[in-house]
Structures are given as C-alpha cells and as structure tokens.
Structure 1
Amino acid sequence: MKLKPSFRTAVLTALLVAAVVPVLVIGLITLAIERRNLSDHVGATNLTLARSIAREVSGSLREPHGFIEHIGKVTDREGGNAREQAKRLLEEVRVIGLFESVYLMDPNGRVADVAFARNVQASPRDYLGMDLSRLPVLRETLANGNISRSSVFLSSATGDPAVMFAAPAGKGAVVGTLGLRVLSRIAEQVKPDNGGTVIIVSSAGKIIGHTDNTLVQRQTDLGGMEIVRAGLAGRAGTHIYAVDGVERLGSVVRIPETGWLVIVEVPLAKALAPVKRVETIFWFATAATILLALLLALAGRAVVLRPVTALVASAGEISLGNYDFSLPPASFSEINELVESFRAMTDAVRVREGELHDRNEEIAMAEEELRQQLDEYQLSQDHLSESEERYRLLVESSPDAIVIHCAGVYVFANPAALRLYGADRPEQLLGRQLTDFVHPDSRKVVAERIKHLYDERRPVPLCEQQIVRLDGTVVDVDVIGIPLTYNGQPAVQVVLRDITERKEAEEEVRRLNAELEQRVKERTILLETANRELESFSYSVSHDLRAPLRHIDGFSAMLMEDCCESLPETATSYLEKIKSASRRMGQLIDDLLDLSRVSRSAMRRERVDLSRLVRELALEYEEAHPARKVTFEIDDGVVVEGDPLLLRVALHNLLDNAWKYTGKKDSAHIRFGETIIHGERAIFVSDDGAGFDMRYVDKLFGAFQRLHSAEEFEGTGVGLATVQRIAMRHGGRAWAEGEEGNGATFYLSIP
C-alpha cells in the first residue's frame, strides 16, 4: 500500500514550495538565458575570428599562386632571354624558399629544369628528364591551359602538408610544391583570447594547420565530426561537441578558394565561466531561501497543528482497541465536530467487533484449507509457465533457424527460419512439404535421416546439406534433427544454421593461398634480378671508374715531376688539390662498394666475441699511429649472435669514427662496452672528441651526410650509413648521443 504524506508534512511542504519554487524557477530561467546569450556571443566572436583567419589563409596562397603564374608567363615570352629570366626566377625560388621545389616541364611532362629550396636535401641533376606526366595537377593544366592547384598531400622532403601549383609555360608547364607549415604558424599566432585553439582542415577532413604539429604530420582525420561535415557542406556556424571527453564550442568557416575549413574552438567550460559564477551565487541564495522558509514553516506548524496532533494520538489509541481515549483540548469548530464523530464511531465499532469475532474464526479455518490447495496448484502452474516461457524465448531469440514438421509437413517456424527461407510471414512455410525446400543433391540424404528420426525416435548427428529458398537461391546449411511430440503426434524439430559465409571464407582462404604462392615466386624472381643488376653495377663502379681516377692522379704526378720548375706556385697547388680530390673519389668508391656488399652479402649467424674484435682493431690503430696518445677501455665478455664479417666492418667504422674525431686532442679516451637502455641491450663506442650538435643527429646515419667539413675532419660520410645498414640486417638499429666539444657515444643493438 502506498503511504500518503501526513498533514504536517503537507503543510510544511506547501510552505516550502510557496517560498522556494518562484525563486528557483526565475533563477533557472535567468541562468538558461544568460548561458544562451554567452554561448551565442562566444560563437559569434569565434566565427568572426575564423572568417579573418580564412582571409589570411587565402592571402597566404596568393603570392605563390602569382609567382608560379609569373614564371609561366616569363617562359611563354618569345625571345632569347625568356629562358634566362626563367632560370633567374628558379634561382630566386632556391634563395627565398617560397616553394620547396619548382619544376619546368616540357610538353611531354618531363622535367626540363628544377630548383629546390635550401632546406630540401635533393640534387637537381637527379630530376632532370624525370617523367611527371601522370601528376593530376600537371595533366589538368596541360589540358585546359589554366593554372591549377592539387589537393593536400604530405611532402616527402619535409613531412609537412603541401600543395602543388601548375601553370602553363610556353608549350609546357611550371609546377611548384608549396609547403603549408605557414598554416600552423597562423594557427599559433592567431589564438583566441579565452584559451581556444585554431584548426585548419583540408577538404578531405584532415588537419593541415594546428598549434600541435604532430597532429598535422599524422594527418589526423576529423571527417567524422559533425562540425567538419557541416563546414565541408558549406554551412558556416557554431557547434557544441566533445573531444576526448571535454565539451567544446567551435565555429567553422569554409575557405571558398580551396575548400579548406577554419575551425576556432574553445573549451565550453571556459566559455561559460561567467555563467558558472552567477550560477554559484544563485544556488547559494536558493539554499539560504530554503533554510529561512524551513524555519518559518516549522514555527507555523507548531501553532497550527497542535490540536491536530492531539487528535491523531487519540486515533492511535482507538486503533489499538482503547475506546476510552482522552479528548483533545477545545480547538477549531471543525476539529470538535471530528471528535464527536470519533465518539459515535467508537460505540458502533465496539458492538460490531463482538459479532465479527465469532464469524472470523469460522472463516479463518475454511480460508486456511483453501489457501493450502491454491498454493499447491499455483506452484505447479508457475513451474509449467516458467518452462514454457524459457522454451519460447529460446526458440524465438535463437540466431539459428528452428522448424518443426509432422509427417513431412511444416507446422512451426521461428523468426530466424523465416529469414533463412526468405519468407515474410509464417504462412509462406506452414503447411508446405519439407521436400519442397530440399536441394535435389541432398534429397536422398534427407530422406534417410527423416526415416531414421520417425522410426528410431533418436536424434541424428550434425551434417551439411543444401536448401532452396523461396526465391530459388541455394544456401549451404548445417542441420541437426531431434524427435519430439507435437500436439500428441510424432514430429521432428530441425535446427538449421546458414554456413554460406564460412564456405565463402574457406574458398577465399584457398584462393589467397594460391595467390600468395604466386606472389612469392614473382618476388623471388624480381629479387634475384635486382641482385644481379646490383652486382653488375658494383663491377662497373669498381673497374670503369677507377681507371680515369688513376689517370688523373698519375698524369698530375707526372706533370709535377716533369714541369715542377716551370710551373707557377699556384699551378702546383692546383695539381695537389687534383690529386687529393682523385684520392677522395677513390675512397668514396671503396666506401660505396662496401655499403653495397653489406646490403647484398649472404648472412650467417654465429656467436661473435666483440671484445676480442675490438682489441684486435685497437692494436692495429696503435701500431699504425704510434705517435697518438689514445687510451682504450674495452669491457670483457661482450658476445652477440651475428655475422662475424659484417660485425667487424661495423666495429671498424665506429672505432675509425672515434679515432678520427679525437685526432685534435693531445690525450684521448675511447671506450667499448654494453649497456641496457629502456629494456634494450646495446653495445656502444664512446669518445671524448669533437662531438656533434644533437639537433642534427638524424643526419648522422644517412649516406654522404657530414656534420663537419672535409677540411676539419676527413671522410666520405658513408661509414655510419654502413653501420646502420649492418644493424638493420641483424634486425636491430643504430643511434647516437653527443655534445659539441664533449665527445659522442654510438649505440648498436643486435637482437
């Protein structure tokens, strides 16, 4: 029975509601209006800022657009100096760095001339004659004769987003690659005052401008966000959404010229901070109002409800059988009338109570007997209902098709069976013969299984067969049959499971295995061909390039010997430089051949004592340079699994590097050992020589990359690239740490 509130509670509640509800309603409405107004104000401010940024982004693209167009127009002029003017413009590209690269293309889409910005490590000679006719932006310009712009892509030179501009240039075209790092600088410089963020998104929904450059380089995809979809559809406006569990208020504007989006977002909590302060004041005032109303209500209740309380106590005595209750003091006329009514009711109840007591005893005995019978019946019905309900839910919710047939005719089908047979309602299956849906190839097996089910009355094992759906399509299924009784007649319950996807998956696996075997054969042939071509190239480098170098060195020496007295001093110096350059060229060829051999030589793994190898190499250095004062510190017992020849080459290059860069010290120290870094075992070679600037550590292990000039320290820049290649062939890696003037440490991990 639901309890009703007391009169005391009702009076108290009425007073509280009358005092608090108006304050609460007015305050909540005011807070909602203020929240809406502040949200609209912040959204309008962000939208204005987004439009301003969109104009700035458009303006940043006009200069490169005009520059590429100007190069095309200069090249298109008739006259002998048009080509020279184009070359000067390409030189300006390299100097000012507006573009990462600019290509002059002939009518066939091949590179006729090229210029790179200073921060791009590339040789123009490698690109001359390159076929770029498949570039969409080039093809578009050559087709329509207008300047074109590509979609955003990641530059292979800088790792930043970039776009290409293409403009007609004579019968060919000029193509420029423009880095978009400027978008991140705009996002960093033009930040909202309330701690917001500026995001620039490409027409593909990916971040191309952000204060966090890692999000730009990862090309973080925002295409699934509602604000991005609305912006790409051309609907500028303000949206509320959540990012990483934090609600944000964002405004989006689409840049018409590019289709890119500018999003200005701020955390919703910061945007609505002024409303939060007002809300705190409001709730404090509301609490004070409730407390004051509660005190006034309690004081009023004590005065108004004293007679009522006495009457309630008297009613309690009556409920306990005490009909001689004490009357409450005189009070309001309505309460006095209620007291008289209680007295009359008490007299009537006293008389009726005696009569009912006798009849209740008789009824109680009959009721107890009937209750026992009903309990037994209800228990049996509950068990039966629970069993039927469990079976019904199991059959209807089963993902497998379940049908029942009597004498070969369907009499029941669950929802999964209707889906399997392609039926919209049960009447399409019920009453039809089982054999109507059995594929001819499976009819013999089905007939034998049905005979076994009806004759033996035992389940048949799971098997595969084919059925025919209502639309005539054939479906592979797993089938199991169980005999049962349906409406007093022998019947069979059949469970079917669609295995079409499993069959298709098995066929796909067989097809993929065959395709994989064919790819392995093709890749093996390509690898063997590449190795043969590499060996041929190495032979050509070794024999065809050394002869000219020997001639240059030999004839320079002969010229110095035969004409030394007649040559001026500057000529002798030039000949010395020629001989030195030919020797460096020879060393460079040797290093390249070593790097090539490291990449293609056969690997063999065995236990290699690196401590012993380092001692042998150290002894060779000390014997070859007895005047040097170098102390070697070599840890014992450094043993790895690897190719002994390749590991000796790697250690030789690392020790040679340490020996070379400590050459300007009177007394040097070189150490070899092993250590554990972040759970990874690594061997190391450290020195106290010239060291290097860690800002350029990424260049150390690239071929021909040097952090010191050849006049300061000799070398070709191939040795550390060879070390990195050997580490990778062993499944490991190489890295370095150093400081200018305080030496360097080179690490090599060999799993």
Structure 2
Amino acid sequence: MQFNYRRLLNPFTITIFYLVIGGLWIQFSDDWLERITDDLVYLNQLQTYKGWFFVLITGGLLYFLISKHKKYVAESSFKIRESEKNFEHIFFFNPFPMVVLDSESDKILLRNKSFISTFSGGKRTEGILLSDILSEQSLPEVLKGLNTQTSNTTLGTFQALTNDHSTLIVEISAFQFSLDAQTTRLLIFNDVTVETKNREKVIELTQNLEKLIQERTVELRNINSELEAFSYSVSHDLRAPLRAIDGFSLAVIDEFGKTLDPIARNYLDRVRSASTKMSELIDDMTRLSKISRTNVEIKDINMTEICQQITAEQRAIWGDKNYTITIHDRDRIRTDSGLLRILLFNLISNAFKYSSRTENPSIEIGQTDDKTHPEFFVRDNGVGIDMQYADKIFKPFQRLHETADYPGTDVGLATVQRIINKLSGKIRIESKKGNGTTFYFNLNNDHI
C-alpha cells in the first residue's frame, strides 16, 4: 500500500512532527548515553556527535517533507489552473448565453461571449444587471424562483430584451455552485423564440382550422337540408305526372284498346313501361339519397335469417328458374339491421338477375375462413364481367350489359357502396366474363 504523504505536507504538521521527533530523540538518546559510559569527556564527545547526527537526519527529513509539500502545492495549483481553464472554455465559448449571478443581488459577475452577442450586441458592458435584460413581467418571477431554489432546476420561460429593444423568449435554467468560497448561481439562457412562435402559430392555425371546419359543417348541414328538400320535392313532384301518364295511358288502352292499331298500342305500352321504369328509378334514387342521412344503430343481428328471407323473396320473383341456393350459417353479428338488409338485398338480387340466363344457376352466401381479416361473400355463376370495369359498377347509372337482357335502374351497387362507406367497411369484386362474380365485403361495426 502506497504511503500517503499529503497528511504530512502542510507547515503545521511538519513543525509538530519535528518537535515530537526532536523531543523523543533528546530524551531517549541522553538516557542511553549515560548508561554506556561514565567518562564525562567521552560522554561530551558522544553528545556532540549525537547532536550533529540529529541535525543531519532531521534536516534530510525536513528537506524531503518540504520538497513533497512544494510538489503537492505545484500539482494542486496546476490542477486548479487547468480546472479554471476548462471552466473558462466551457463557460465563455458555450453556444448558450450564460451568466454567473451575485448571490446577494441581481448583479451579473461573469457572462460568456454568447450572452454578450445576444443581449449586448457584442459590446462588453460592465456592471450589467439581470433587470437590464428581463422584462418587467419576467424579472419578479425569476427572482422568486432563485430565492426559493433548493437544487438545480429550470425556472421556466420568460421574456428577455436585447440591446436593440427586441424581445426574445428564453428558457432559464439555474445551477448553484461555489466561486471564491461564496455560493453563486449559474444561469443558462436557451432561446426558444422560434419554437414558441411556431407553437403559437400552430395553435392559431389549429383554432382557425377548427373554426373553418365548424363553418363548413354548418354549410354542409344547410346544403344537405336543401338537398333533402330538393330530393323530397323531386320525388313527389315527379310521381304525380308519372302517375297521370301511366293512368291516362291505361285508360286509353282500356277504353280504346280494341280500336287502336298495333302501332298506337305499342306506343302506349312503351309509354307505360317508361313511366314504370322512371318510377322505379325515382324510388331507387330516393333510397340512395336517404342512406347518407340514416343514423346507424348497432345491435345483434341474425344475418343467416336475413339472407334466407331475401333469397325466398327472390325465388318467388324468379319462380321459373331452378336456383341452387347455399347459405352458410354463422354466428350473430353487430351492425345496423336496416342498412345490412338493403346491402344484402341488392347483392343477392344482383346475383339472381345476372345468373338468370345460366343453365343451372347457383348462388352461395357465406364467410371466408381467414380468422384475421374475415369477409362475407355473395357468389353466383352468372354472366360475370371484365375486371377492367370493376370500379365502374359501384357508380350510379353505369351499365355493362344490355338493358333488354338484364333490366334495372343501375343504382343497386351504388347503394351498396354507400352503405359500405357508411359502416366504415370495404367491398371488392372478383369476376371473370362468363364465369360468375363474387362480391366480398366486411363491416367495421361487425364483431366476429
């Protein structure tokens, strides 16, 4: 183990050490000499040698201790100077504005270059006070924070003034430390002006956006109310003349049917057919417009039972066709009953219609086996479509087949798409011309 000389390397310790060693040497050496000889002349010589020996030994020891002490002082001084240089470098060249504050007042004792360039315009103004750079509102808060400070902490965000009277927003952190045996405080200023202004701008933009959204929402509500009134007016105002056209055409046929020539009778039949189709189109468009205004009510639904009811209704309509219907049973689901019924009605009736010309028409309704992303499907072996037109079929009045072969208003699948959107679901199609079609869909409100 290395001997620690530092305990001996101060003047007081060296003096005490010298007195103790000297006293012990005189006491014990004199007793020892008196025991070994009675000759006074010889004893006097030995005491002289003993004295010179003591001086020589203690002188060497003192030289050793004093040399060690000087070396220790030199090393300590060097370390202190290095520490001061490091502090000065870290302090004066730090990119953050920093000051050393007097513990008894708000007088700034030291300040670094960044502080001088930021708050003094590069001028070394002596005797500057903290009150010279902080706003009247911020100064009391900072001083209060300093007076109650018990540890290193961030005081908060405050306003500071530069020499050109511009305002900065700074975050001030305070650290306690000793300087020349006095407790002082180191303050670090972090300029957050840009960040604060950007944050305020974001808040302002957010508020403006919220206000704009509220205004647009009111506008959309007004527009929807107008559209609803228009839809109601159109559906009712158009039905009256259509009923008149159909009624008078039927009256003419009943009254004068036997006397009409075939061409006139054909014209009247075509008028009645067109008015009937127009009435169906008005019904479909009215139902389509109501989808967006329908309130969604989530509840438990027996989907299998709904499919069975719709297929039974369609069998009655297409009674002359021998359809093979397969409905895979499944658990109850949670979604809107009315919207689900309309969706399934349009998909199933679509399957019946477009497989009606197939020799052995078949329809399958069920659910995929994917446990992670399950989908419901309605599959038929009907006429099918070219997949390059798959996106068109979900838009109103888009027809891929002749009306004479497959009559309809071309609104059913547009209604399906709107219901899917209403329930936050997805729908897709797989088809091949001449080999049938499968519609896959899922509902966000469904819990499988």
Root-mean-square deviation (CA, aligned residues, Å) is 3.5
1:560 aligns with 2:256: no
Q: 1:416 is matched with which residue: 114, 119, 122? A: 114
Q: Secondary structure at the match of 1:700?
A: helix
1:636 aligns with 2:332: no
Amino acid at match of 2:136: P
Residues 413 and 430 in structure 1, CA contact (< 8 A), matched pair in contact too: no
Going from structure 1 to structure 2, the CA distance change for 1:690 and 1:378 (only over 3 Å counts) comes to: farther
Query: Which structure is larger by alpha-carbon Rg, 1 or 2?
Result: 2
1:730 aligns with 2:423: yes
User: In the TM superposition, what is the alpha-carbon distance from 1:619 to its structure 2 partner?
Assistant: 1.7
Q: 1:711 is matched with which residue: 387, 398, 404? A: 404
* TM-score scaled by length of structure 2: 0.73
Amino acid at match of 2:99: V
Q: Provide Cα deviations, 1:665-695, integer angstroms capped at 9, x if missing partner.
A: 2321100111267963321100001111112
Alignment of 1:37-186 (within 5 A): none
Q: Provide Cα deviations, 1:528-586, integer angstroms capped at 9, x if missing partner.
A: 32232122122212211012112222222222333334433222222222221111111
1:523 aligns with 2:216: yes
Task: Single out whichever of 616-625 and 597-606 deviates more from structure 2.
Answer: 616-625
Q: 2:97 is matched with which residue: 392, 395, 401? A: 401
Alignment of 1:295-694 (within 5 A): 391=87, 394-395=90-91, 398-406=94-102, 409-421=107-119, 423-424=121-122, 427-445=123-141, 452=147, 462-486=155-179, 491-501=184-194, 503-504=196-197, 507-508=200-201, 511-512=204-205, 514-516=207-209, 518-637=211-330, 639-675=332-368, 680-694=373-387
**CA distance in 2 between partners of 1:444 and 1:745 (Å):** 75
Going from structure 1 to structure 2, the CA distance change for 1:613 and 1:389 (only over 3 Å counts) comes to: farther
Q: Provide Cα deviations, 1:570-628, integer angstroms capped at 9, x if missing partner.
A: 22222222221111111111110110111211111223222221011112222344332
Q: Provide Cα deviations, 1:674-719, integer angstroms capped at 9, x if missing partner.
A: 1267963321100001111112111110100011010111111100
Amino acid at match of 2:443: I
**CA distance in 2 between partners of 1:526 and 1:448 (Å):** 52
Going from structure 1 to structure 2, the CA distance change for 1:389 and 1:548 (only over 3 Å counts) comes to: farther
Q: Provide Cα deviations, 1:305-338, integer angstroms capped at 9, x if missing partner.
A: xxxxxxxxxxxxxxxxxxxxxxxxxxxxxxxxxx
**CA distance in 2 between partners of 1:683 and 1:460 (Å):** 60
**CA distance in 2 between partners of 1:616 and 1:747 (Å):** 20
Going from structure 1 to structure 2, the CA distance change for 1:443 and 1:661 (only over 3 Å counts) comes to: closer
Residues 145 and 155 in structure 2, CA contact (< 8 A), matched pair in contact too: no
Amino acid at match of 1:661: Y
* TM-score scaled by length of structure 1: 0.45
Task: Single out whichever of 482-491 and 598-607 deviates more from structure 2.
Answer: 482-491
Amino acid at match of 2:271: I
**CA distance in 2 between partners of 1:720 and 1:661 (Å):** 13
1:697 aligns with 2:358: no
Going from structure 1 to structure 2, the CA distance change for 1:381 and 1:583 (only over 3 Å counts) comes to: farther
User: In the TM superposition, what is the alpha-carbon distance from 1:527 to its structure 2 partner?
Assistant: 3.3
Match of 1:212 in 2: none
Residues 401 and 420 in structure 1, CA contact (< 8 A), matched pair in contact too: yes
**CA distance in 1 between partners of 2:269 and 2:262 (Å):** 11
Q: Secondary structure at the match of 1:439?
A: coil
Structure 1: runs of 5 or more not aligned: 1-371
Match of 2:17 in 1: none
Q: Secondary structure at the match of 1:641?
A: strand
Which structure has more RCO (C-alpha within 8 Å, separation ≥ 6)?
2
Residues 92 and 111 in structure 2, CA contact (< 8 A), matched pair in contact too: no
**CA distance in 2 between partners of 1:611 and 1:592 (Å):** 28
Q: Secondary structure at the match of 1:545?
A: helix
User: In the TM superposition, what is the alpha-carbon distance from 1:423 to its structure 2 partner?
Assistant: 2.4
Aligned length: 375
Q: Secondary structure at the match of 2:159?
A: strand
**CA distance in 1 between partners of 2:86 and 2:300 (Å):** 67
Residues 253 and 265 in structure 2, CA contact (< 8 A), matched pair in contact too: yes
Task: Single out whichever of 387-396 and 376-385 deviates more from structure 2.
Answer: 376-385
**CA distance in 1 between partners of 2:242 and 2:160 (Å):** 81
User: In the TM superposition, what is the alpha-carbon distance from 1:722 to its structure 2 partner?
Assistant: 0.2
Going from structure 1 to structure 2, the CA distance change for 1:473 and 1:706 (only over 3 Å counts) comes to: same
**CA distance in 2 between partners of 1:545 and 1:482 (Å):** 82
Amino acid at match of 1:421: F
Going from structure 1 to structure 2, the CA distance change for 1:639 and 1:373 (only over 3 Å counts) comes to: farther
Residues 629 and 666 in structure 1, CA contact (< 8 A), matched pair in contact too: no
**CA distance in 1 between partners of 2:286 and 2:135 (Å):** 69
Identical-residue share of aligned pairs (%): 32
Residues 423 and 429 in structure 1, CA contact (< 8 A), matched pair in contact too: no
Going from structure 1 to structure 2, the CA distance change for 1:442 and 1:713 (only over 3 Å counts) comes to: closer
Residues 170 and 190 in structure 2, CA contact (< 8 A), matched pair in contact too: yes
**CA distance in 2 between partners of 1:521 and 1:608 (Å):** 36
Q: Secondary structure at the match of 2:368?
A: strand
**CA distance in 1 between partners of 2:142 and 2:225 (Å):** 63
Amino acid at match of 2:243: R
User: In the TM superposition, what is the alpha-carbon distance from 1:438 to its structure 2 partner?
Assistant: 3.2
Q: Secondary structure at the match of 1:713?
A: coil
Q: Secondary structure at the match of 1:681?
A: coil
Amino acid at match of 2:100: I
Going from structure 1 to structure 2, the CA distance change for 1:626 and 1:505 (only over 3 Å counts) comes to: same
User: In the TM superposition, what is the alpha-carbon distance from 1:474 to its structure 2 partner?
Assistant: 2.8
User: In the TM superposition, what is the alpha-carbon distance from 1:421 to its structure 2 partner?
Assistant: 1.5
Q: Secondary structure at the match of 1:602?
A: coil
**CA distance in 2 between partners of 1:449 and 1:592 (Å):** 70
Match of 2:440 in 1: 747
**CA distance in 1 between partners of 2:321 and 2:349 (Å):** 14
User: In the TM superposition, what is the alpha-carbon distance from 1:731 to its structure 2 partner?
Assistant: 0.6
User: In the TM superposition, what is the alpha-carbon distance from 1:739 to its structure 2 partner?
Assistant: 1.0
Q: Secondary structure at the match of 1:671?
A: strand
Going from structure 1 to structure 2, the CA distance change for 1:490 and 1:618 (only over 3 Å counts) comes to: closer
Going from structure 1 to structure 2, the CA distance change for 1:570 and 1:386 (only over 3 Å counts) comes to: farther
Residues 154 and 171 in structure 2, CA contact (< 8 A), matched pair in contact too: no
Q: Secondary structure at the match of 1:535?
A: helix
